[in-house]
Structure 1
């Protein structure tokens, strides 16, 4: 987020907090604060810029640095809980994406021909599809049965979970999975980026995880994927307690250089 956008963002959230006296709200005693999209729109209706009044933009806080200053100063983050309803929570809502210090693995593509189309463009989907076509995802998971079956936006079933000392109830929130692969005994869900990420909101992994735990008895596995330069980075995360948002843990991580077929 550039400085002008950040300042507009801060201005909007400062007004929202003032209008609804959120600054005086006691999160420790009263729990998360419920805020609606209509309240946000009402507070920001006189602003001119889209970044100052668009609910989707104001509530998109995918990394710690994406939060407005008032959130940062008070250790707050925001979660959608149903269509048009959000919870502002005082707790750690993000997970670090650590550097992978281990040596780069030289990986030989399982294809017997070169994919010329993989060199055109720089989208997350393109890099992820190339990694899958080269069988890198199957290799990382040690599962040759994985096939692409999930992609795009879906709505969650109803579920509840703990975050900090509070219980959050979610009903029909839209999630987006960059890719999901099903095998004989597991489903692998991927959140993909095309640049370096220092941290990410746990929701991007937790909501799809809970969503698919509802629909299958197979193990649900979570991967965070990045393409930086010529290298492919993969982190595997899991939750030690499926009902605890903060129980996320790193399981393994590797980085690869994919060698094209000769």
Structure 2
């Protein structure tokens, strides 16, 4: 068993989590309670359903933050399958004057892959349908910020009624944010091509962008880079 599995097995036994989820629908747990076994960041970050610990997978559970130091465990439909269309790739090129990349350079980080997506016009093409618009999109908000107050409903497996989430200033991480004349985009980037993804990773930033009060369209984008 992995450290993740051992840690959650300890917490499930200590707090009788599974029985409480079955009885009440959810179980609230704090970062302080999780920290007893391991760093909360390492214990709660499951970017795709297959990365969940065994107890979560076996019992169809997911964990979502509802504050900067609090989490809710339940049978939430928290993951979305990714659909990959069989399309002909569009080839793009770096600007001729860029000399910091060559044929031997391997793109090993999500941030560098995103830089390439911007400088080759990929970001503009996705946001506004043009490879080289008159005014290209610019990079704006990235990194960590607070969600503010968010309210939303999420479906729960085998239940007719959704669970109502009230999120109070949970940490939101934005891999990249771009702004064009008409749109804002928030991007979740991965250096792999998974089968599904954790909806929260795009939804919380999407809602945070809406809270900016702009009249621009907010476009959530899931960006993958693999096989060079």
TM over 0.5, yes or no?
A: yes
Distance (whole Å) between structure 2 residues aligned to residue 14 and residue 200 of structure 1: 24
**How many equivalent residue pairs?**
214
Match of 2:2 in 1: 7
Choose the corresponding residue for 1:38, options 32, 36, 61: 32
| Post-superposition offset of 1:137 | 0.9
Distance (whole Å) between structure 2 residues aligned to residue 115 and residue 64 of structure 1: 40
Distance (whole Å) between structure 1 residues aligned to residue 209 and residue 42 of structure 2: 26
Distance (whole Å) between structure 2 residues aligned to residue 94 and residue 21 of structure 1: 25
Match of 1:97 in 2: 82
| Post-superposition offset of 1:68 | 0.9
Match of 2:215 in 1: 217
Match of 1:228 in 2: 226
Q: Within the alignment, does 1:181 sit opposite 2:175 as a pair?
A: no
Choose the corresponding residue for 2:124, options 118, 123, 138: 138
Match of 1:50 in 2: none
The alpha-carbon distance between structure 1 residues 15 and 104, as it changes in their structure 2 partners (threshold 3 A), is same
Match of 2:11 in 1: 16
Distance (whole Å) between structure 2 residues aligned to residue 122 and residue 114 of structure 1: 18
| Post-superposition offset of 1:33 | 1.3
Deviations along 1:35-55, one digit per CA (max 9) or x if unpaired, are 11122234x2xxxxxxxx221
- TM-score scaled by length of structure 2: 0.86
SS in 1 for 2:83: coil
Match of 2:55 in 1: 70
SS in 2 for 1:128: helix
Choose the corresponding residue for 2:97, options 103, 113, 119: 113
The alpha-carbon distance between structure 1 residues 74 and 139, as it changes in their structure 2 partners (threshold 3 A), is same
| Post-superposition offset of 1:163 | 0.7
SS in 1 for 2:174: strand
What are the equivalent positions in structure 2 for 1:185-200 lying under 5 Å apart? 185-200=182-197
| Post-superposition offset of 1:134 | 1.3
Choose the corresponding residue for 1:125, options 97, 108, 111: 111
Choose the corresponding residue for 1:88, options 73, 83, 88: 73
**1 or 2, which has the higher strand percentage?**
1
Match of 1:150 in 2: 141
The alpha-carbon distance between structure 1 residues 26 and 134, as it changes in their structure 2 partners (threshold 3 A), is closer
Match of 1:239 in 2: none
Deviations along 1:95-125, one digit per CA (max 9) or x if unpaired, are 122333112222344x243443473652111
Any unmatched runs of 5+ in structure 1?
A: 1-5, 45-52, 231-262
Any unmatched runs of 5+ in structure 2?
A: 156-161
Match of 1:203 in 2: 200
Distance (whole Å) between structure 2 residues aligned to residue 224 and residue 115 of structure 1: 28
Match of 2:158 in 1: none
